[in-house]
Each structure stands twice: as C-alpha cells, then as structure tokens.
Amino acid sequence: MDGKDPDPGGVPVSGLFVVLEGGEGAGKSTQIALLSGWLEALGVDHLVTREPGGTAVGEAIRSVVLGRTDLDMPPETELFLILGARAAFVRDVVRPAMAAGRVVLADRFALSTMAYQGYGRGLDLHEVRKAVAFATGGLEPDLYVVLDVPVEEGRSRQSHAGMSADRIESAGDGFMAKVREGYLALAEVEPNVRVLEARGTPEEVHRRIRDCLIREFPNRFPADAGGV
Ligand code: Z5A
C-alpha cells in the first residue's frame, strides 16, 4: 500500500493520509492524541484534524449538523451539509498538507459518510459513494483504521465521561448498531480499511494501531519505531 518510496535523499516524496474511524466512544480522539505523541517523538511532521470541521466553514457546518438537536433534517440534507464541509476540508487542509509531505491524521473522513449516512440513515450506498467522490475530487486516504467496539461499551464510555449526545448520536443504539455493521461490511470490500479491536486499555489499543501503521507503511515507519 505504501507506494511512496523515499527519494534518493531518504525524504518521503509525498504525504500520508491516515484516518481513524469508529462508532461513538470508540476512542478515536484518545488514540489520535497518542499517535500524535508517537509521531512527535519520531520527528515526523504531521497534522491532526477532524471531520466534520477542520476549516472555518467546516466548523460552522459542524455546529449545525451536530449541534442543532432541535432541527428535523432529512438524511439527504445531513449528507450534503457534511459533504459541503468535506470539499473545503480536502481543498484547504488535506491537499496542501499532502503536497508538503506531511502526515495527516484525521478523526473521520468519507468512510463515516458511508457508515452513518449510508448504512445508518439508509441512503442508497451507490449514490452516497458518488456524492462523496464529487466532494473529495476522488481523494482517498492511504489508510482507514476502524476502531471497533461494541455499541453498549462505546455508549457507556461516553456516559462515564459525562459527554452529551450530538444530533446524530441521539439516533440511538439501533442506529449505532447499523453503523457498526456498516463499518465491518465496508472493511470486507474496501482495500484501504483495517479493523482493530478497540477494547483494552488506551495503551494496548495504541500499540495495535502503531503495529498496523508499521506493517502498512514500512518505508515510512521503521520496524524499530516502537511497534511490532
Ligand atoms: N458524522 C457523520 O454522520 N458522517 C460523516 O461523514 C462524518 C461524521 C465525518 C462526529 O462527532 C459526528 O459526526 C459523529 C458521526 C458524524 N456522530 N456520532 N456518532 P464527534 O467528532 O463529536 O464525535 P465522535 O467522532 O463520535 O467521537 P466520540 O464518540 O466523541 O468519541 P471518540 O473520539 O471515538 O472517543 P474518545 O473521545 O477518545 O473517548 C471517549 C471516552 O472513552 C473518553 O472518556 C475516553 O477517556 C474513554 N476511552 C477512550 N479509550 C478508552 C479505552 N481504551 N478504554 C476505556 N475508555 C476509553
């Protein structure tokens, strides 16, 4: 998968786009912080970002699509708001960072749209895929890491942390179960998706993700870079 061989000077010729995915309470934010610390220690130039958001217009859209629990929104409206944010995210955040040879670590991207708006909301998967491709101009991450946790465990982590449900999480456990099934089904067919067990301590999960990155991108992360 890592087609980005170092140039003769040993410098990677382009960036790397890695996305953490998963249902509610899967631990993505926790793991992105740990990964960022690891990359920092390795001296790897990287950018941490999230979706929907990551740009001024994306954060404004996020406040509507997640924050406005009072709004009754058709699934198609939800889809196009999220994709509106994504177009700016790709143009203004991901592409420039990739062109500068940086590692982009994102909390969610297009796989979320397939899982939540496709499998969760029930929108036609083929249409969602086409709309996503239009918004991204066809940009695909190098790797999606899906952190898989049973719905009840994710929900219990959230409630222990006192986090309130956003507009989409408010759809309930039946919806989240469909989202989880969606991620697992997508992982069967998409070549750039890996599913990792997200139960265990944050440090155990971090080690699994590091090992996965070292396996997938041996030119970027040497085997002695703290994993495997
Ligand atoms: N959405 C969409 O529908 N379509 C799209 O295309 C996109 C997004 C891009 C984004 O919400 C919402 O947008 C999301 C999908 C939708 N709504 N839902 N669901 P967000 O960004 O605000 O939140 P989130 O992505 O759902 O993340 P989260 O649920 O808030 O959590 P997380 O980042 O995965 O987990 P965390 O914050 O790291 O951890 C949660 C708690 O668990 C916290 O107290 C931790 O200390 C604890 N934790 C973490 N790891 C562990 C372990 N290993 N053991 C025990 N406890 C742990």
Considering the domain boundaries, does residue 6 fall inside one? no
Q: Is 118 in the pocket of ligand 1 (CB under 6 A)?
A: no
Rounded CA separation 146/27 (Å): 10
- Going by alpha carbons, the residue nearest to atom 35 of ligand 1 is 27
Length of the chain: 228
Considering the domain boundaries, does residue 228 fall inside one? no
Helix (H) or strand (E) holding 20: strand 16-22
Considering the domain boundaries, does residue 20 fall inside one? yes
Q: What is the mean pLDDT of each run of 10 residues along the chain (228 residues)?
A: 47 80 97 97 96 96 96 97 98 97 98 98 98 98 98 92 85 95 98 98 98 95 68
CB 199 within 8 A of CB 153: yes
Considering the domain boundaries, does residue 1 fall inside one? no
CB 166 within 8 A of CB 67: yes
Give distance in angstroms: CA of 24 to centre of ligand 1. 5
Virtual torsion, Cα 119, 123, 124, 125, nearest 10 deg: -40
What is the CATH number for 161?
A: 3.40.50.300
Please report the pLDDT score of residue 5 as a whole number: 45
- Going by alpha carbons, the residue nearest to atom 31 of ligand 1 is 25
Considering the domain boundaries, does residue 7 fall inside one? no
Considering the domain boundaries, does residue 227 fall inside one? no
Considering the domain boundaries, does residue 8 fall inside one? no
The pTM is what?
A: 0.94
Find the domain containing 33 and state its range: 16-219
Please report the pLDDT score of residue 226 as a whole number: 65
State the alpha helices, DSSP H only, in the chain: 28-42, 56-65, 75-89, 95-99, 110-112, 125-136, 151-160, 173-189, 202-216
Q: How many domains does the chain have?
A: 1
Rounded CA separation 172/195 (Å): 23
Q: Is 202 in the pocket of ligand 1 (CB under 6 A)?
A: yes
For residue 28, which of 149, 143, 180 has the smallest C-alpha distance?
149
Task: Kindly state the tokens that stand for 45.
Answer: 């130039």
